Amino acid sequence: MPRNSRQKLKLLYLKEYLLANTDENHAVTVSDMKNYLESCGIPAERKSLYDDIDTLRESGLDIVSEKRDRNVWYHVVSREFELSELKLLVDAVLGSRFITERKSAELIRKLESLCSRFDAYALDRQLTVAGRIKSMNESIYYNVDKIHTAIRDNTRITFRYFDYNVRKERVYRHGGALYEVSPFALCWDDENYYLVAYDGAHGEIRHYRVDKMSELEETDKCREGEAAFEKVDVSAYSRKVFSMFGGESVRVRLEFADTLAGVVLDRFGKDVFLTPSEDGTFSFETEIVVSPQFYGWLFSFGKDARILRPQSVKDGFAQYLKQTAELYE
């Protein structure tokens, strides 16, 4: 590349150098900048570098200078993302089960590019010390993108749906037949992404785990089921469907010990009306999709939680407890 062309890149190289090598605790001198640019094949005069620094400041880069040890030191003190915000994003990536290990590392590398190399080391340390169970399906990111596109385009999608067997092999449901549904929303529950969609073949709203979809494609068919979806409150839907397992939706009254008020509010939201009692308990009513997952969740609280009504749900819970106890006889 001719010299004058390299000179045109000088501001870009200088900006990248300052962003990568300086922060609130690390600074560089004009001599450091000059040496770096020359190592990149870009001659630089000290006087022109002062002008370049002023230009970068005028463009919005927050460069601070301070004099010490007979030198003037320069560093970038504020960025688009603060280190604490990047750490929060890294924690979110690491804590997301649906993001595979490979994709987690890739995303964190991209986040590291938004801070200095010194702060990037701190983010990288978070990556190496964290150990979480991760999804095995790399296609989830493309699935999410295709679902969003289909929702925007008002079209149906097709996919194959699978589970894993004990040999960690995919076992496709319905003999590998294609599902065709009308997508309406994506929601997050129990550390997994779920698609809420209208199943025209059964005439009802259903949900599907996105990381268990394969060969997902958008069709040219218009969505159906708008009227059914308008009746669905997606946030309430995910609250009442435990771990997104299907079942009958029933109005249930539950009683919990006062010490579990926070647990109940975390699960059902702050809009639920809690009725306190003088015996150190409170009760409330809510819509629940009754399933073994709901019974298991309730059982985890032992004597501090119980079903008050209806009787059918109480009987179902008693049967669940009996069957569980029989496993240990």
The predicted pLDDT at position 111 comes to 92
The predicted pLDDT at position 156 comes to 97
Percent of the chain whose pLDDT exceeds 90: 53
- Let me know: does 151 contact 198? Beta carbons within 8 Å: no
**CA quadruple 220, 225, 230, 233: dihedral sign:** negative
Structural domain includes residue 134: no
CA distances to 261, 313, 326 from 323, rounded to whole Å, are 29, 15, 5
Q: Please name which of 71, 86, 77, 83 lies closest in space to residue 18, comparing C-alpha atoms.
A: 77
Structural domain includes residue 222: yes
As a whole number, the mean pLDDT across the chain is 87
Same domain, 148 and 209: yes
pLDDT tens-digit profile of 236-263?
Answer: 776 666 555 566 788 999 999 999 998 8
Q: Please name which of 298, 136, 150, 294 lies closest in space to residue 216, comparing C-alpha atoms.
A: 150
The predicted pLDDT at position 291 comes to 86
Residue 209 burial by Cβ neighbours in a 10 Å radius (0-12, 13-18, 19+):
buried
CA distance 127 to 306: 41
Same domain, 64 and 90: no
**Span of 50-54, 185-189, 273-277, 324-328 with lowest mean pLDDT:** 185-189
Q: Please name which of 117, 45, 125 lies closest in space to residue 76, comparing C-alpha atoms.
A: 117
The predicted pLDDT at position 317 comes to 95
- Let me know: does 181 contact 169? Beta carbons within 8 Å: no
Between 182 and 134, the more confident residue is 182
pLDDT tens-digit profile of 70-121?
Answer: 899 999 998 988 888 998 888 888 877 778 888 888 898 899 999 999 888 8
* Tally of CA atoms within 13 A in the half-sphere of 328 that contains its CB: 4
Structural domain includes residue 51: yes
Q: pTM for the complete prediction? A: 0.58
- Let me know: does 75 contact 28? Beta carbons within 8 Å: yes
Number of domains in the chain: 4
Structural domain includes residue 236: no
- Let me know: does 242 contact 234? Beta carbons within 8 Å: no
- Checking phi first, is residue 21 left (phi over 0); if not, alpha (psi -120 to 50) or beta? alpha
The predicted pLDDT at position 35 comes to 95
The predicted pLDDT at position 1 comes to 46
Domain boundaries, position 10: 3-78
| CATH of residue 303 | 3.30.70.240
Structural domain includes residue 135: no
Residue 223 has pLDDT above 90, yes or no: yes
* Tally of CA atoms within 13 A in the half-sphere of 219 that contains its CB: 15
